[in-house]
């Protein structure tokens, strides 16, 4: 099958050239406004032929000619995670405002798949990639070799030579912990990801520091996937702990939804018996029962910044990486014990 047989209306540059009595290169110069000048009368003949024939340079052809696909790749760790989808939506809106379309690539929570998908984006000649990484193991070598800029979004991950847009999760978690301590809790459990990386997660650091600053003993840590199921498993483990802390800080809303489910099943009142404060500020948190008190990441602002950053790097490969960090804010619901 060729393009022409699949598309009865397709008109080629050669058709336009023949109609206008010029070479195909001249048609290209008119369409792309260069690189060579075209005499005004010739230009008019070409434009007339384009209109007459209904010629529309297609995206693949333009990508080849201009070296520009007007495509950005967005690599996400799990496209079934609602928080990730909020982020993807915000990036899509930000990219569209700048005239770019997104190809969404999903790692499906597998590092192998993340690698495969990254090669895929390179083959599609995206102009830039925004990546919500699975872990700290970001392999940017293939993108770098292909001259495709990369911006990392949401994690406080540093990769040599790669720019990032992140939330100050350490300061955000501090707000959550100080709020729970302010409610009088003296023992606070932590539900967090498995974090195989070298540095501890900023939320875990804040949790340790705030307990220390308040003179509290360190509560138990429950490590789980960033999913509802992971949170549910952590909730069951929490219920089995003895003595049982009076509060839980969960490092994602998805986990908090699972934790709440385990507490409900066991008939444990939230916040009366156990207070919960969460992290992310996803739409689901507002419809949890009780409504989650959560640390909200400024998703739209971050998405805009990531789009700006990666687009700013296109054609400026020598530019050094920049790192932007956004503050998070505490959004009060009912799960913390506030009236």
- The rounded distance, in Å, linking the Cα atoms of 108 and 110 is 5
Do 70 and 99 meet the contact criterion of CB atoms below 8 Å apart?
yes
**Candidate residues 31, 55, 72, 92; the one interacting with a second copy per rule CB under 8 A:** 92
Q: Does 317 bind a second copy (CB under 8 A)?
A: yes
**Candidate residues 60, 217, 221, 266; the one interacting with a second copy per rule CB under 8 A:** 60
Site for a second copy in 108-127 (CB under 8 A): 120, 123-125
Q: Does 194 bind a second copy (CB under 8 A)?
A: no
Size of the site for a second copy (CB under 8 A): 56
Backbone angles phi, psi at 89, to 5 degrees: -60, -45
DSSP β-bridge partners for residue 163: 151
What is the nearest approach in angstroms of a second copy to the Cβ of residue 288? 8
Q: Which is nearer to a second copy, 197 or 317 (CB)?
A: 317
Q: Does 296 bind a second copy (CB under 8 A)?
A: no
What is the nearest approach in angstroms of a second copy to the Cβ of residue 203? 22
- The rounded distance, in Å, linking the Cα atoms of 262 and 269 is 11
Task: Return the sign of the alpha-carbon dihedral for residues 166, 168, 173, 179.
Answer: negative
Q: Does 103 bind a second copy (CB under 8 A)?
A: yes
Backbone angles phi, psi at 240, to 5 degrees: -85, -10
Q: Does 98 bind a second copy (CB under 8 A)?
A: no
Is the peptide bond between 271 and the residue preceding it cis, with omega within 30 degrees of 0? Answer: yes
Binding flags for a second copy, 237-276, as an x/- string (CB under 8 A): --------------------xx-xx--x------------
Interface with a second copy by CB under 8 A: which residues? 1-9, 56, 58-61, 63-64, 66-69, 79-80, 82, 85-86, 88-89, 92, 101-104, 106, 120, 123-125, 145-148, 228, 232, 257-258, 260-261, 264, 283-284, 286-287, 289, 314-315, 317
């Amino acid at each position: 099958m060729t393009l022409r047989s699949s598309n009865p209306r397709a008109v080629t540059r050669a058709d336009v050239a023949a109609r206008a009595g010029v070479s195909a290169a001249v048609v290209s110069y008119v369409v792309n406004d260069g690189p060579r000048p075209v005499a005004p009368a010739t230009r008019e003949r070409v434009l007339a032929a384009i209109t007459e024939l209904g010629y529309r340079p297609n995206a693949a052809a333009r990508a080849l000619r201009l070296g520009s696909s007007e495509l950005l790749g967005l690599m996400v760790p799990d496209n079934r995670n609602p928080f990730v989808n909020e982020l993807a939506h915000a990036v899509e809106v930000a990219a569209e405002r700048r005239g770019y379309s997104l190809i969404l690539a999903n790692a499906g929570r597998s590092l192998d798949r993340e690698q495969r998908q990254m090669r895929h984006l390179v083959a599609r000649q995206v102009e830039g990639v925004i990546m919500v990484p699975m872990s700290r193991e970001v392999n940017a070598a293939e993108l770098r070799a292909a001259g495709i800029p990369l911006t990392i979004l949401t994690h406080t991950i540093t990769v040599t030579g790669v720019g990032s847009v992140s939330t100050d999760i350490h300061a955000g978690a501090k707000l959550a912990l100080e709020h729970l301590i302010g409610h009088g809790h003296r023992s606070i459990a932590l539900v967090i990801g498995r974090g195989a990386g070298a540095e501890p997660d900023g939320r875990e650091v804040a949790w340790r520091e705030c307990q220390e600053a308040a003179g509290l003993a360190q509560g138990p840590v429950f490590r789980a996937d960033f999913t509802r199921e992971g949170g549910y498993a952590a909730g069951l483990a929490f219920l089995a702990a003895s003595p049982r802390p009076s509060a839980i800080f969960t490092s994602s809303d998805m986990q908090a939804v699972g934790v709440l489910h385990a507490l409900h099943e066991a008939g444990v009142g939230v916040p009366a018996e156990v207070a919960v404060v969460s992290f992310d500020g996803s739409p689901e948190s507002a419809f949890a029962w009780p409504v989650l008190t959560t640390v909200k990441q400024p998703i739209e602002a971050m998405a805009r910044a990531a789009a700006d950053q990666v687009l700013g790097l296109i054609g400026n490969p020598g530019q050094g990486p920049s790192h932007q960090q956004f503050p998070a804010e505490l959004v009060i619901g009912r799960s913390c014990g506030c009236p």
